[in-house]
Structure 1
């Protein structure tokens, strides 16, 4: 029963994170959001947990909240985060920020570069 899930009963931070990710991956966003918030109350400085909570806002298309949290995580070497932040800016019609952010992700030259290039193409198509 997901509604009674209690992240605080978990003894290990990484086990807790993996459990919350399972909720997220099975589209139990409300429960995952509650679990991320509870976990962040226990492990306040965990960027992975904050990134996870931010992704829930993104998946729920709550782009204003997603923007706030992505900017709070502020990990300029995390390509997937930069990609999602660029899409968030795009959805909020902040085209210059979207383009600059995705170019930063592309410059990381990581395994997801072609994915980021697809995002850049979307930005270019919608921001003329």
Structure 2
């Protein structure tokens, strides 16, 4: 009979290879700033249905047990995986992160929303 550790190792082999990771494994991964401070975690990834490109990480910042947490969208291109931290480092200043839009209905209904998010972070939109 396998132990829970062996089960986790088997799942790791299925969910992650070299440079690829399954979306469900990204969920819950910590996000750090350049200084190494833990900012929150990835709640979800948003994938363009037509191109398959990852557009945004929806990141939960702050709160306690999910209460009072803010969900903000970060362009996927501003995140870099740090093996030592076991999480993503966001390449943005604290001021930019504070200005990042809350992810919600506006993201789904405003066609210019994506342009504003990418412009804030100074990166080209994922669709270009």
TM over 0.5: no
Looking at secondary structure, tell me which structure has more strand per residue: 2
Instruction: Calculate the TM-score normalised by the size of structure 1.
Output: 0.29
Looking at secondary structure, tell me which structure has more helix per residue: 1
User: Larger relative contact order (C-alpha < 8 A, sep ≥ 6)?
Assistant: 2
Instruction: Calculate the TM-score normalised by the size of structure 2.
Output: 0.29
